[in-house]
């Protein structure tokens, strides 16, 4: 299994990397604003149901496909289903998804760098909520600065991917994620003790299905896929490095559980503050970047915590961008026979160009829209809400219907050495429940039925 072209070669490294890929801006930036736009508590409930009943089995499926085939997502189908080349289309969809996500994700990751600088130079000190909002708008709508921070983030990611990722990621996830976790708890405590915080908690935890729509269900599904990095085949690659005698259920539950916990903490840190400061929960991508600086302003040692928080957020984003770039580079190296360094540089340039369009679409190019969405929002919505669930659907159909049941059992139980008592439930979910649920949610959500 040693393969020098690949970044991840050890078991712990692969699991840490999968967790690092899952935890990122999706939890702290995207989850709160998507929840805010979709009515709060009802979204949370549906989200958690999706994580447990679809997220975990789907994650196991991608891991299992990777471990069985010992290959990346495109090659996996070549190995597992040599006669039906059509399945490789899923790999290609995953690649397109990777390019699109990395493009807008690197823009937001760049924002975190600017926010580190702003916090360190006292940029938010003494400002009220409106003024903090103004800082965000001015920054994201300006033409150059977001491009520079995006480029910086791409370079940082590129250098790490070229130098080899394994040790770095392991260290990052093991030491820094617990610090991020503690800091989030601290922020939660500050946020819920603000005057007027209880409204926010109600918004987050009290399901109100009156304003909840089929589109909201689709958004919750998309958020679950996005946050767990499911549906684009990235986890297939990581699966190929997980040891045969590791229980995939345990591994997946751990990753999905941690990921959801961090998203929840982000929600508890943000919504009470949103209501306490009279901000709107529906404000979209700006939500975290406006709310949290206000919380820091209201804390003793706020500046120190602000710097620490944005540094950790940048690192959480970095472990995700590394996985996004790694998957694209791996494809170029293995399928196009490129050198690792050439692939990294070329892909980073392409991403910079597409990402620049995403970034500018929030400011000077915002008049250009497709279906009412600017390019940034379009990329975000298309990938998370459509491509990833479609990719996940294809995985379930392949593993539940086309691949032999005994082989699936063999893979999950390591040829019978693991008990895998859950197998029946797992198989039932990926054969019937998951495909049906995915199809229904995709169709009703896309057509806006019941809105």
Nearer to ligand PHE, 62 or 411 (CB): 62
What is the C-alpha to C-alpha distance for residues 33 and 282, in angstroms, rounded to an integer? 7
Question: Cβ 192 to ligand PHE, closest distance in Å?
Answer: 24
Nearer to ligand PHE, 113 or 129 (CB): 113
How large is the C-alpha radius of gyration of the chain? 21
Nearer to ligand PHE, 34 or 114 (CB): 34
Nearer to ligand PHE, 112 or 213 (CB): 112
What is the C-alpha to C-alpha distance for residues 341 and 139, in angstroms, rounded to an integer? 32
Nearer to ligand PHE, 36 or 302 (CB): 36
Q: Which of 186, 292, 242, 226 is nearest to 47 (CA)?
A: 226
Question: Cβ 93 to ligand PHE, closest distance in Å?
Answer: 13
Nearer to ligand PHE, 129 or 169 (CB): 169
Question: Cβ 250 to ligand PHE, closest distance in Å?
Answer: 20
Question: Cβ 392 to ligand PHE, closest distance in Å?
Answer: 12
What is the C-alpha to C-alpha distance for residues 16 and 25, in angstroms, rounded to an integer? 17
Nearer to ligand PHE, 26 or 216 (CB): 26
Question: Cβ 292 to ligand PHE, closest distance in Å?
Answer: 17
Which residue has the closest beta carbon to ligand PHE? 26
Nearer to ligand PHE, 302 or 389 (CB): 389
**CA of 379: how far to CAs of 147, 284, 359, 386, in Å?**
17, 15, 11, 10
Nearer to ligand PHE, 165 or 412 (CB): 165
Half-sphere exposure of 207 (CA within 13 A, CB side): 11
Q: Which helix (H) or strand (E) holds 409?
A: helix 405-413
The alpha helices in 142-277, defined as continuous H runs, are 145-163, 166-171, 177-192, 198-205, 214-228, 234-239, 248-276
What is the C-alpha to C-alpha distance for residues 29 and 36, in angstroms, rounded to an integer? 11
Binding site for ligand PHE (CB under 6 A): 21-22, 24-27, 101, 226-227, 229, 232, 234, 320, 323-324
Question: Cβ 316 to ligand PHE, closest distance in Å?
Answer: 7
Name the DSSP class of 285.
Answer: G
Question: Cβ 373 to ligand PHE, closest distance in Å?
Answer: 19
- Burial (CB < 10 A; 0-12, 13-18, 19+), residue 427, is middle
- Burial (CB < 10 A; 0-12, 13-18, 19+), residue 292, is buried
Residue 232 DSSP SS3: coil
Question: Cβ 425 to ligand PHE, closest distance in Å?
Answer: 25
What is the C-alpha to C-alpha distance for residues 163 and 240, in angstroms, rounded to an integer? 21
**CA of 124: how far to CAs of 47, 302, 382, in Å?**
33, 10, 34
Question: Cβ 23 to ligand PHE, closest distance in Å?
Answer: 6
What is the C-alpha to C-alpha distance for residues 35 and 53, in angstroms, rounded to an integer? 19
């Amino acid at each position: 299994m040693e393969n020098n072209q690949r970044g991840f070669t050890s078991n712990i490294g692969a699991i840490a990397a999968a967790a690092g890929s899952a935890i990122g801006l999706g939890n702290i930036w995207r989850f709160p604003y998507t929840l805010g736009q979709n009515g709060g508590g009802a979204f949370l409930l549906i989200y958690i149901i999706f994580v447990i009943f679809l997220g975990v089995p789907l994650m196991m499926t991608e891991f299992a496909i990777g471990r069985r085939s010992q290959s990346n997502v495109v090659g996996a189908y070549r190995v597992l289903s040599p006669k039906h080349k059509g399945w490789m289309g899923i790999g290609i969809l995953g690649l397109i998804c990777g390019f699109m996500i990395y493009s807008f994700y690197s823009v937001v990751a760049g924002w975190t760098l600017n926010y580190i600088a702003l916090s360190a130079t006292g940029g938010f000190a003494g400002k009220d909520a409106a003024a903090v909002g103004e800082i965000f708008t001015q920054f994201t709508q300006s033409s150059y600065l977001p491009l520079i921070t995006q480029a910086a983030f791409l370079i940082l990611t590129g250098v790490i991917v070229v130098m080899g990722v394994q040790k770095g990621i392991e260290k990052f996830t093991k030491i820094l994620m617990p610090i991020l976790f503690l800091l989030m708890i601290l922020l939660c405590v500050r946020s819920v003790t603000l005057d007027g915080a209880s409204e926010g908690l109600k918004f987050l935890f009290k399901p109100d299905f009156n304003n909840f729509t089929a589109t909201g269900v689709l958004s919750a599904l998309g958020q679950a896929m996005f946050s767990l990095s499911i549906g684009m085949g990235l986890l297939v690659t990581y699966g190929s490095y997980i040891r045969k005698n590791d229980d995939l259920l345990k591994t997946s539950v751990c990753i999905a559980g941690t990921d959801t916990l961090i998203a929840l903490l982000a929600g508890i840190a943000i919504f009470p503050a949103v209501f306490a400061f009279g901000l709107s929960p529906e404000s979209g991508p700006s939500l975290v970047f406006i709310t949290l600086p206000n919380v820091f302003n209201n804390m003793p040692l706020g500046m120190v915590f602000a710097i620490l928080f944005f540094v950790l957020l940048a690192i959480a984003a970095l472990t995700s961008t590394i996985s996004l770039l790694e998957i694209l580079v791996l494809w170029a190296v293995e399928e196009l026979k490129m050198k690792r360094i050439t692939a990294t540089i070329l892909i980073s340039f392409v991403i910079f160009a597409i990402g620049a369009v995403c970034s500018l679409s929030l400011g000077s190019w915002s008049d250009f829209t497709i279906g009412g969405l600017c390019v940034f929002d379009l990329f975000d919505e298309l990938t998370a809400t459509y491509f990833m669930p479609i990719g996940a659907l294809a995985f379930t159909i392949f593993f539940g219907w086309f691949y032999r049941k005994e082989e699936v059992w063999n893979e999950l139980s390591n040829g019978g050495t693991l008990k895998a008592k859950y197998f029946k439930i797992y198989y039932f979910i990926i054969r019937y429940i998951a495909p049906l649920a995915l199809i229904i949610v995709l169709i009703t959500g896309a057509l806006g039925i019941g809105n």
